[in-house]
């Protein structure tokens, strides 16, 4: 007689405790606290890179695999159409003409566009390159 009664008492206590404290009993996935997913494109996809100079200084941008440096004035926007996801590990390098540190903020405004917005920063040495890996992942160094 005591076993069924004690089992019922324990079960009722656990049930009441879980109702009064739901955050302790609900399992949550990483999606509930992890923030946004990293930016990624489909491997082989044609990617348009949009570069925006949000600094008060002249910025230089270059694709190391064959282009000359392109100057980007303060507030200017540049679209680079020739970035192919089939190229193995494509990269862009960028720097301030005055040697100041830059912060690169990347976003994906639509399916085939990667936006690279360059801002001034006090963090040293700052960001210096955008790396598009052949598996579609985006890294900033």
> What CA–CA distance (Å, rounded) separates 127 from 120?
10
**Per-residue pLDDT at 79:** 93
Count of other CB atoms within 10 angstroms of residue 62 = 16
Q: How many residues does the chain have?
A: 141
Convert the pLDDT of each residue in 72-85 to its tens digit: 999 999 998 756 55
**Per-residue pLDDT at 64:** 83
SS3 117: strand
The ranges of the chain with pLDDT < 70 are: 1-36, 82-88
**Per-residue pLDDT at 99:** 92
**Per-residue pLDDT at 67:** 72
> What CA–CA distance (Å, rounded) separates 93 from 122?
19
Contact yes or no for 84/43 (Cβ under 8 A)? no
**Per-residue pLDDT at 37:** 72
Q: Determine phi and psi for 133, rounding to 5 degrees.
A: -80, 155
């Amino acid at each position: 007689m005591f076993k069924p009664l004690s089992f019922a008492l324990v079960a009722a206590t656990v049930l009441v405790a879980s109702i009064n404290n739901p955050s302790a009993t609900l399992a949550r996935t990483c999606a509930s606290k992890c923030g946004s997913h990293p930016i990624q494109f489909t491997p082989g996809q044609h990617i348009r890179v949009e570069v925006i100079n949000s600094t008060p200084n002249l910025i230089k941008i270059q694709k190391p695999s064959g282009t000359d440096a392109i100057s980007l004035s303060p507030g200017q926007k540049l679209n680079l159409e020739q970035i192919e996801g089939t190229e193995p590990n494509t990269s862009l390098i960028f720097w301030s003409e005055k040697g100041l540190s830059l912060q690169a903020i990347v976003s994906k405004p639509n399916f085939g566009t990667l936006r690279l917005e360059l801002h001034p920063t006090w963090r040293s040495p700052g960001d210096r390159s955008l790396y598009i890996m052949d598996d579609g992942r985006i890294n900033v160094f």
